Amino acid sequence: MTSRPLDAQGGSAGLPRGLWVLLAANVVIALGFGLIAPALPIFASEFGVGVTAATAVVSAFAVMRLAFAPTTGRLVTRLGERRIYLTGLLIVALSTLACAFAQDYWQLLAFRAAGGIGSTMFSVSAMALLIRLAPPEMRGRSSGYFSAGFLIGSLAGPLIGAALVDFGLRLPFIVYAIALLIAAVVVAANMPAAPLAASSADTDSTKAPAAGFLEALRWPEYRAILASNFAQGWASMGVRIAVVPLFVGQGLGRSAGWAGVVLACYAAGNIIAILVSGRLSDKFGRRPVMIPGLMIAAASTAVLGFSPNIGTLLALTAIGGIGSGLFAPTHQAALGDLLADRQRGGSALAAYGMSSDFGAVSGPLIAGVIADRWGYGPAFVVTGGVVAIALLLWLVAGDPARRSCTTTSSEATSVDPTPHPRSELQ
């Protein structure tokens, strides 16, 4: 893999300026998302609807993310990461501001759903920018910073949002919209266009083809990345938020306050692991960090529902957070290893984002049904099994960086030497 020379953006001596801009914007986005989380379902219920309709406002955002992800992948390929990222920021900012002035439930539902379109636009393009801008030798560390920034914003956002709600349910939406508009201006002024893959600077006869979804799906490394991202969505972003608090209350008979403590323990373990996982994966490779992380997460999750007391639950949750913190940033870096030296692969990136969203949507539903019928123990066993399947795929997968090098060199001799315009890259 070609090393990045020193340049005006920071080069190999440190993270490029554009990447720092991306990381800062990521914190603002996560902070704002958490900021409106306490207000959104309550605001929806103010229009006189029931619990199901109120939660549908939250689900509509995720559903639109899933529905629009394939289109976003094609837009990133045709128009470029930076343009789609800024467009997505503006869509979320304007739709959030519109939510603040919604006059009935259906307006709120429509405005929030529109925000899901913008969200998938900036999340897919943000991953593409992370891949393009991160120096190869610091890709794991960059992914760790990216995950840590999102986690910090997600933790601080609800605290700020809970304070703002006291001044009115519409205020958090206005504050978030203004923050996103400021972030968009800062990104537009400071974010450089992402460089094309290193191979695109070579002669036409050695130019590597783009990595579309169907092509990437043939690689065991890409399938393993999709599986681990799906498991992350299912276990960490779905079941952890929706089912763990119910287990604390119904399974252990503890108050809602204890549910918050349990989630905080998970976040603490997550942060500890994220701080070291990026450097470890840059030094030793992705698989030596991914596999232990998945093993820890699978084992601690599978036995979570059999916790006899709150102390055991706190310990297992913290251990699960450590496991997730080891593998979540690492599979982002692995995706970068696969795609960085290729032309834009928007569909492969979109499928990566969709795998997490699909896990976050389906995980709580399936685990909830299992918990209702057979109890919380089996529900968490199944969740641990989802993580274990991702572990099995990683055990048979090769090194992502080696895959990138071998496919680039082998396919370069067979591609059409005719130059392709950017709009035709897939």
What was the pLDDT predicted at 341? 62
Sketch the domain layout of the chain as residue ranges: 16-195, 213-411
Residue 46 has a pLDDT of 84
User: Does residue 260 surpass a pLDDT of 70?
Assistant: yes
Identify the three-state secondary structure at position 135: coil
Q: How far apart are CA 273 and CA 41, in angstroms?
A: 32
Query: Do 16-195 and 213-411 fold alike per CATH?
Result: yes
- pLDDT, tens digit (0-9, with 9 covering 90-100), for 167-179: 888 898 999 999 9
Instruction: Quote the crossing angle between the two packed helices 220-231 and 287-302, to the nearest 10°.
Output: 40
CATH: 3.40.50.880, 1.10.10.10, 1.20.1250.20, 1.10.510.10. Which one for 213-411? Answer: 1.20.1250.20
pLDDT digits (tens, 9 = 90+) for 48-84: 877 667 767 877 888 888 888 888 888 887 888 888 9
Selection from 314, 319, 310, 331 nearest residue 390 by Cα? 331
Least confident of 108-117, 196-205, 300-309, 328-337: 196-205
Q: What is the pLDDT of residues 374-426, one digit of tens each?
A: 999 999 999 999 999 999 999 998 877 666 555 544 444 444 444 333 333 22
Integer Cα distance of 413 and 268 in angstroms: 49
Residue 391's SS3 state is helix
Alpha helices, DSSP H only, in 236-375?
240-242, 244-246, 256-284, 287-302, 310-339, 346-374
- The superfamily (CATH) of domain 16-195 is MFS general substrate transporter like domains (1.20.1250.20)
